[in-house]
Each structure stands twice: as C-alpha cells, then as structure tokens.
Amino acid sequence: MSSVVIGHGFPQLETNLSDTDINETISKCGINQQIIQKSCGDGEIERSTLYVLMSIFSGVMLISFLLCWMIKDAPVKQLDTDFSYFSLAQKTIRFVKDDRRQLLLIPITFFSGNSASYIAGTFTFSFITCGFGPEWIGLIMISFGVTGTITSLSLGYLKSKIHRIFLFGFGFTCQLCLLLVILGRYIYPHPEHIEWLFIMAGILGMCDSIWQSSLQALYGTLFVENKEAAFSNRNLWRSLGSVLAYGYGHHLSVYTKTSILLAFLVFGFLCYIFVELIERKLKTKTKKTHDSQ
C-alpha cells in the first residue's frame, strides 16, 4: 500500500527547479528555518478546506467515542462520595514527593509530550509544508501512522519476550540518531529528495509508538497500588511537555527547538535508567525478605 501511495506521489515532484530555487528552499526550510511566521504565505490552506478537514476529524472522534461506549465490557466504577478534583490534584502532587520513581519518570514523560508536539507542529510545517507544500502533509504522515501501527502491534508481542529496558533503549537510540542527523544537516527538505521525509516520518512514528505504549505499560507495572495518582501524573507531565512545545513554537528557531528536544530525550532516558536500578533494588530486597521468612 505504501508503495502505491509513494508511486502516485513522486510524479508530483517532476519539476524543473534551478539550483538557485533548490538552494533557497534548503536555506529557509527544515533545520535552517528561523522563527516561524504566523501566516503560511503562498502555502496557506483555503478556509473551506480547513472546515472540511475539521469536520472529518470531529466525525472520527465522535465515532470513536460511540464505539468505545458500545463495546465497553463493564460499567464504569462509581467514584467515591468524597471524590473531588482538588483532592485528586493534591494526591497527584503528593505522589511525586512520596515515590522517587515517579519523580524520575517526569523528564521522559515530559519528553513524550514535547516530541508529539514537535512532530505535529515543527516537522509538518518546517520540513514538509515549507519544502514541498501543505498538500504533502497527508502523504508523508501516512508513513508516520503506518510505522506507528506496526510498532504498536509488534510491542505487544515483544514485551513478553524481552525486558522493557531494551525497548526503551531501542527507541532512545533511533530518536537520538535521527535528531543528531537533523542537527548535523545530513537530512533536510530537498526538493529532489522527498523520500528523506518519508523516512524521517517513519522513524518518528516508530519512536512515538514506543514512548506512548511503553510508558503507559511502565506506569501500570510500577505503580499497581497507586494507578490513579500515577496515570494522573503521566497525563499531567505529558500535557505540560506538549503545551510548552506549542508555547515556544513560534518564538524559537527549528535548530533551537530540536536541540531542546534532544536535551529532554537524553536527560529523560538517564532518569529512566535510574528508575530501573531502583526497581531492581526493590525487587532484590523483597526477594531476600521473602526467602528469610
């Protein structure tokens, strides 16, 4: 299927561009793009097209909600009579102080939200729209969705075969290499090499799938007794990472935003390694206690 999409897409690139046009595109797009302008200029999408796209998106969301409501296995558990959002917020913050594993997971969770916003905002605008036009966003992001789906299905099988640290390590290595390649300007929006962006989107989709599914599984495994507070923290810090990325998106250059994402990635993964060390120590201690009894 992907070969059909790409095969129909590549003929659109058969243009007679001069070296000057190519160099101009390279110099102003991708990692070389400075502060993003609020207007898309010549590549701005018509308002009627935006309405159609938003209607489709809203319809898909509504269908998804109805399907989840119809196929649910059991009724939702009733909340406690003394439940309040303020108490949940207090419990969420208190859990960060009480469990250092949760504290150490904040950076990698923050990174996952920041990375998702980088893909949705910076990658689609600075690399795809700037270099090839908004009409290519859908085709290139198909690669993102396909690799993400395949990775998610594969992780369900691999999680029972290998330790999660290898999955995190694989995702870290892939995204680290990609970000370094982008920062080193080895891959950039080149009018005659759109396949580079398909590869980038595919790698980003694979990495994003690893972070989302593996982090969710990690929270559910580590915090069995405090799932409510743990998942509340996950959503909180992931959302903050996403909000921060959108907040500075129009005020920083692509090079700066990519460097920030790289810093979050490295720091978050190092903190995750400490979480695994603490978890191993706790398991060893529990095993010794059980053997002594």
Region 240-254: what's the mean pLDDT? 87
Region 206-215: what's the mean pLDDT? 91
pTM of the entire predicted model: 0.77
Residue 30 placed within a domain:
no
Residue 21 placed within a domain:
no
Domain encompassing residue 48 = 41-72
Task: Give Cα separations from 68 to 25, 72, 204 (angstroms).
Answer: 45, 6, 28
Residue 83 placed within a domain:
no
Residue 10 placed within a domain:
no
Question: For residue 225, what is the domain's CATH number?
Answer: 1.20.1250.20
Share of the chain above pLDDT 70, in %: 79
Q: Rounded to an integer, what distance in angstroms lies between the CA atom of residue 52 and that of residue 76?
A: 34
Whole-number pLDDT of residue 162? 85
Region 259-278: what's the mean pLDDT? 94
Burial of 284 (0-12, 13-18, 19+ CB in 10 A): exposed
Q: For residues 137 and 129, is the Cβ–Cβ distance under 8 A? A: yes
Residue 192 placed within a domain:
yes
Region 93-122: what's the mean pLDDT? 88
Q: Write the single-letter amino acid at 38.
A: K
Please give the tally of structural domains in the chain: 2
Q: Is residue 230 located within the same domain as residue 269?
A: yes
Residue 211 placed within a domain:
yes
Q: For residues 141 and 124, is the Cβ–Cβ distance under 8 A? A: yes
Q: Is residue 52 located within the same domain as residue 118?
A: no
The model's pLDDT over 37-94, given as tens digits with 9 standing for 90+, comes to 555 445 566 778 778 878 888 888 888 888 877 776 554 444 455 556 666 677 777 7
| Banded model confidence at residue 263, pLDDT cuts 50, 70, 90 | very high
Region 158-172: what's the mean pLDDT? 87
Q: Is residue 111 located within the same domain as residue 196?
A: yes
Whole-number pLDDT of residue 208? 92
Residue 281 placed within a domain:
yes
Region 8-26: what's the mean pLDDT? 54
